[in-house]
């Protein structure tokens, strides 16, 4: 039996589409992510209609074939061409409004929601799904995860996949190290490949003050057994020969940090949790929380109401909205973060590189694309997923400055996600408002990399075992009492 190739860029076959659909990836956004069709150099121009024809044959509904969000540019354009633009001539803008989380009513073969659960987790990102995985591992049977859109629709499916332990406080270093270990064992634990690769993280310091910051962090990291080293520009260029060594004065290097391909982590944790009895339901927004006597008694959705003992708010940038349903005000401010990928290149870049002071970071994915982003200090708060030319111009100027050889690489696709930003750049954990309403949000762009360790600790605590200090330290009340040390090592 030979192959019928529906997507020639990524070698996606007719059988791949059929398999994805049969495994429950029924909507077009999910089929795209699971098979990879439309993510190559043609960006779906040749293959989209053929895939949809097949999905219709397989029984997809009109809502399920809603076409995936358009991603600029329309034709590949090189970093060099974009670097010719003056970003300052392009003021901050929301871009073309895109539905932040499309939620088509997907009447898939999902059956009714359970009437009761031990734990309902709001948000099917990596935090919610990994928590479900960890809870079911500890014998909690009745766990329900409610995701308002498809898996990977939120920040967990939009981030650059960097995972590191180079942090600035002992707590974050400890969590980062534990997460790295769990990322390493993910494939074996769940049977799904996450393409975790320890290529290291290289932080470039442009001046003496940033070097001091790196040296301070290095001391904390080495105390916990990390191999972090401060490198001279020459040593850093030995790690990444394409770097322009005149652009920085020193670098911090931990060879044990790494990158992952984010999407499979959601599939893997969801599959693992489901196999132990959890329910993971997509396209199911939470419409209400029934609070009585200081407890959330039930979670309401358009497809039914679930009575429950505990509710976890793991809705990322949408967490303040979920908390309001229980009368709780969270200080989180969602902030857009834009990101892009280049065309696929043969491997040349080992680590994730981050240029301190600029917000620029970039790495090379398993498929060979340069994946990178760059925070914009002028970005206003608010959920906005539009893509801008300003970002392309800023990123390209910075990237071509640090790695001149990238000028000839084409940008293939750009998109945006939301950082879930708190006043001190640390998460919000534990009960807030009703005693059984637990927060698991406010991770400011590093929720993905922290998820395995934090959810493991949270499941321990929720099942009556050890309580990690983070659940005392990162409570909502810290903002009222003015306590807590801020995290200053946020990228982007």
Which span sits near other proteins by CB under 8 A: 5-13, 118-126, 146-154, 432-440?
Answer: 5-13
- Does position 192 bind other proteins by CB under 8 A? yes
321 or 343: CB nearest other proteins: 343
List 50, 58, 63, 230, residue binding other proteins (CB under 8 A): 50
Question: Helical H runs in 167-318?
Answer: 170-190, 208-223, 233-239, 263-275
Binding to other proteins in span 260-299, by CB under 8 A: 264, 267
CA distance 225 to 173: 10
List 31, 32, 34, 315, residue binding other proteins (CB under 8 A): 34
CA distance 237 to 210: 18
List 31, 47, 100, 298, residue binding other proteins (CB under 8 A): 47
Nearest C-alpha neighbor of 359 from the set 387, 382, 336: 336
List 191, 277, 294, 486, residue binding other proteins (CB under 8 A): 191
**C-beta separation of 255 from 179 below 8 A:** no
CB of 330 to other proteins, least distance (A): 30
CB of 244 to other proteins, least distance (A): 10
Nearest C-alpha neighbor of 445 from the set 165, 209, 158: 158
Binding to other proteins in span 357-386, by CB under 8 A: 366-368, 386
List 15, 209, 232, 287, residue binding other proteins (CB under 8 A): 15
Using CA atoms of 272, 276, 279, 283 in order, give the dihedral in degrees to the nearest 10.
10
List 232, 242, 275, 287, residue binding other proteins (CB under 8 A): 242
End-to-end CA distance of the chain: 48
**C-beta separation of 404 from 147 below 8 A:** no
Q: Judged by CB under 8 A, how many residues of this single chain contact other proteins?
A: 90
257 or 468: CB nearest other proteins: 257
Phi, psi for 352 (deg, rounded to 5): -85, 130
CB of 240 to other proteins, least distance (A): 12
224 or 366: CB nearest other proteins: 366
Q: Extract long-range pairs of 241-246: CB within 8 Å, 24+ residues apart.
A: 242/348, 242/349, 242/403, 242/404, 242/405, 242/406, 243/204, 243/353, 243/402, 243/403, 244/401, 244/402, 244/403, 244/404
List 158, 197, 281, 336, residue binding other proteins (CB under 8 A): 197
CA distance 387 to 425: 24
Which x/- pattern, by CB under 8 A, does the window 402-421 give for other proteins? --xx-xxxx-----------
Query: How is residue 373 written in tokens?
Result: 């982003």
Exposure class string for 273-299: b at 16+ Cβ within 10 A, else e = bbebebbbbbbbbbeebbbeeebbbbb
- Does position 237 bind other proteins by CB under 8 A? no
Query: How is residue 282 written in tokens?
Result: 């997509």
List 252, 387, 439, 475, residue binding other proteins (CB under 8 A): 387
- Does position 187 bind other proteins by CB under 8 A? yes
CB of 64 to other proteins, least distance (A): 11
Binding to other proteins in span 77-116, by CB under 8 A: 77-78, 80-86, 89-91, 93-97
Q: What single DSSP character describes residue 243?
A: S
List 8, 219, 238, 435, residue binding other proteins (CB under 8 A): 8
CB of 86 to other proteins, least distance (A): 7
CB of 418 to other proteins, least distance (A): 19
Binding to other proteins in span 58-77, by CB under 8 A: 62, 65, 67, 70, 72-77
List 63, 249, 295, 345, residue binding other proteins (CB under 8 A): 345
């Amino acid at each position: 039996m030979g192959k019928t190739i529906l997507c020639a860029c990524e070698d996606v076959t007719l059988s791949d589409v059929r398999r994805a659909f049969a495994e429950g990836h029924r909507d077009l956004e999910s089929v795209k992510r699971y098979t990879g069709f439309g993510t190559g150099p043609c960006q779906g121009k040749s293959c989209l209609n053929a895939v949809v024809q097949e999905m219709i044959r397989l029984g997809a509904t009109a809502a399920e074939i809603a076409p995936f969000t358009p991603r600029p540019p329309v034709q590949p354009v090189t970093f060099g061409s974009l670097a010719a633009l003056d970003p300052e001539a392009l003021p901050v803008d929301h871009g073309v409004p895109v539905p932040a989380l499309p939620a088509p009513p997907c009447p898939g073969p999902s059956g009714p929601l359970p009437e009761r659960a031990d734990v309902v987790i709001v948000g099917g990102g990596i935090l919610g799904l990994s928590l479900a995985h960890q809870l079911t591992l500890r014998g909690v049977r009745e766990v329900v995860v409610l995701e308002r859109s498809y898996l990977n629709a939120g920040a967990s499916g939009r981030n650059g996949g960097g995972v590191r332990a180079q942090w600035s406080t002992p707590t974050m270093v400890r969590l980062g190290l534990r997460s790295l270990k769990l990322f390493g064992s993910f494939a074996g634990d769940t049977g799904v490949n996450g393409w975790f690769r320890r290529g290291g993280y290289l932080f470039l310091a442009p001046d003496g003050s940033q070097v001091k910051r790196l040296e301070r962090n290095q001391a904390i990291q080495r105390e916990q057994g990390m191999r972090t080293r401060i490198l001279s520009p020459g040593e850093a260029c030995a790690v990444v020969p394409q770097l322009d060594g005149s652009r920085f004065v020193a670098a911090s290097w931990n060879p044990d940090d790494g990158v992952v391909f984010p999407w499979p982590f959601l599939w893997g944790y969801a599959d693992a949790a489901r196999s132990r009895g959890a329910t993971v339901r997509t396209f199911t927004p939470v419409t209400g929380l029934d609070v009585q006597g200081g407890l959330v008694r039930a979670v309401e959705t358009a497809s039914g109401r679930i009575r429950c003992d505990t509710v976890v708010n793991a809705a990322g940038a949408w967490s303040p909205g979920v908390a309001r349903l229980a009368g709780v005000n969270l200080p989180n401010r969602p902030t857009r973060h834009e990101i892009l990928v280049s065309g696929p290149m043969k491997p040349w870049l080992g680590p994730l590189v981050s240029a301190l002071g600029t917000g620029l970071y970039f790495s090379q994915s398993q498929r060979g694309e340069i994946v990178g982003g760059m925070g914009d200090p002028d970005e206003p708060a608010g959920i906005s997923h539009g893509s801008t030319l300003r970002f392309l111009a800023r990123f390209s100027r910075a990237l071509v400055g640090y790695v001149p050889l990238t000028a000839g690489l084409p940008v293939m696709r750009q998109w945006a996600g939301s950082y879930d930003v708190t006043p001190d750049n640390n998460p919000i954990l534990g009960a807030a408002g009703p005693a059984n309403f637990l927060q698991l949000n406010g991770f400011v762009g590093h929720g993905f990399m922290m998820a395995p360790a934090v959810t493991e600790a949270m499941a321990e605590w929720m099942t009556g075992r050890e309580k990690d200090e983070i659940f005392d330290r990162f409570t909502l009340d810290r903002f009222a009492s003015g306590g807590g040390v801020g995290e200053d090592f946020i990228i982007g």
